[in-house]
Amino acid sequence: MKGIKKRSVAFGLIAVIVVLLILGRAYLPYWVTDYLNTQIAALDGYAGSLEDVDIHLWRGAYVVHGLEIHKLEGGLKEPFVAAETIDLSVEWSALLDGAVVAEIDIHDADLNFSRTQSGEGAGWQRLVEAWSPFDINRLTIHGGRVAYIDYSTEPNVHLFIDDIEARVTNLRNVERGDPSLPSDLNITGHSIGDGELTVEGKLNVVKSTPDFDIDLALRGASLAAFNDYTKAAAAIDFESGTVGLFSELAAVDGRLTGYLKTVATDISVVDLSESDQNPINALWESAVSVFMDVFKNQPEDQFAFRIPIEGNLNDPERGTWAAFLSIFDNAFGQAFTRDTDGNIRFEELLED
């Protein structure tokens, strides 16, 4: 009888433990949802929530659904951050290298900036640390969108890059590759005006001030699609044309060097002489049109300039005078290439 009693007690304890585990597993998604929403509520100047969380214990992961974060004051109607799903899990392949790190896959994410909504000082690092108990080693974005919106201008300005596919690997230098720039960055997307964006580079975010060596190219964007911005910034309205933006940037220990090059082809400015009753606007656009026509590279039919960027990473200097003079280099010398120049050397910064 005693043996039967002991077995009954043992089976009873096992049954209780199993029931508790089942109940705990069933409650875990609700607890994680409440915990993450509490961390979002702690952001300074922002508010938001997520809809729910799925737990996948078998692969050491959880999936967040329906994240939205808004600025409380002076922000936009659009959320600062929104994402359909965020999948955060252990990066199992890194265990072979002896590291316990995380990987994140974000789907259908939106990031909206404005003059009053930059995201600075809200405590984002604390939020990321709360969401993941491990350092993040790999990040991918599928179907992302980044936008700059300004409702203070007339017409409103809305610039964006969508269809973003981004991948950053080896952020924590798990694979022990190049010690100076261990991480790889690759981004593709489409801009306003159907431009094709590509970004490639290498990073070192293990350092307190990250080092990087990045190339950026935006090709084949319609100039007319940028009219809301160009009218607000410079009172210029394009009828047609194509623009490309090309940049190389490198930084070591907070010292930045690089450039931004703009190349526009087949430019035509809207004739305001008949449609605009303000003679100053018509005169200004006529002057701009003549200037661009005279100081373009005639054989290539392109107007271009190159802005050098140098100095402290937090407050770099932009060579305005050098940018103006570069207009004449493109016009009367060899036409600027419609690509990155390949003359920014990360290694040279390391040697300084």
Cβ–Cβ < 8 Å for 111, 80: yes
- Record the tokens describing residue 42, joined without a space: 């702690």
Question: Is the pTM higher than 0.85?
Answer: yes
164 or 116, greater pLDDT: 164
Q: What pLDDT does 223 receive?
A: 94
The DSSP letter of residue 335 is: P
Q: CA-to-CA distance for 126 and 176, rounded, in angstroms?
A: 27
308 contacts 261 by C-beta, under 8 angstroms:
no
pLDDT digits (tens, 9 = 90+) for 261-289: 999 999 988 766 555 556 777 788 788 88
CA distance 275 to 343: 45
In degrees, rounded to 5, the angle at the alpha carbon of residue 277 between the alpha carbons of residues 231 and 193 is 25
Helix (H) or strand (E) holding 280: helix 279-294
User: Domain residues of the chain, as ranges?
Assistant: 1-176, 202-352
- Model confidence over 167-210: pLDDT tens digits? 999 988 888 777 899 999 999 999 999 999 999 999 999 888 99
> Which has the minimum average pLDDT: 85-94, 112-121, 180-189, 334-343?
112-121
Dihedral angle at the C-alpha atoms of 96, 101, 105, 106, nearest 10 degrees?
A: -170
For residue 12, the model assigns a pLDDT of 53
Q: How confident is the model at residue 20 (pLDDT cuts 50, 70, 90)?
A: very low
* Pairwise CA distance, residues 52 & 48, whole Å: 13
Residues 6+ apart with CB under 8 A from 3: none
Number of Cβ within 10 Å of residue 105's Cβ equals 17
Q: Cα–Cα distance between 328 and 290 in angstroms, integer? A: 15
Which one has a higher pLDDT value, 281 or 211?
211
Residue 308, preceding peptide bond in cis (omega within 30° of 0)? no
Amino acid at 336: F
Q: How far apart are CA 349 and CA 65, in angstroms?
A: 43
- pLDDT score of 247: 97
- Single out the residue of 289, 213, 303 nearest to residue 250, CA to CA: 213
Residue 235 pLDDT > 60 = yes
pLDDT of residue 233: 81
Alpha-carbon gap, residue 20 to 26, rounded angstroms: 10
Type of residue numbered 61: A
Identity of the residue numbered 111: L
State the Cα torsion 282-288-289-295 to the nearest 10°: 160
CA dist., res. 223 & res. 267, Å (int): 8
Q: Would you say residue 22 has pLDDT above 80?
A: no
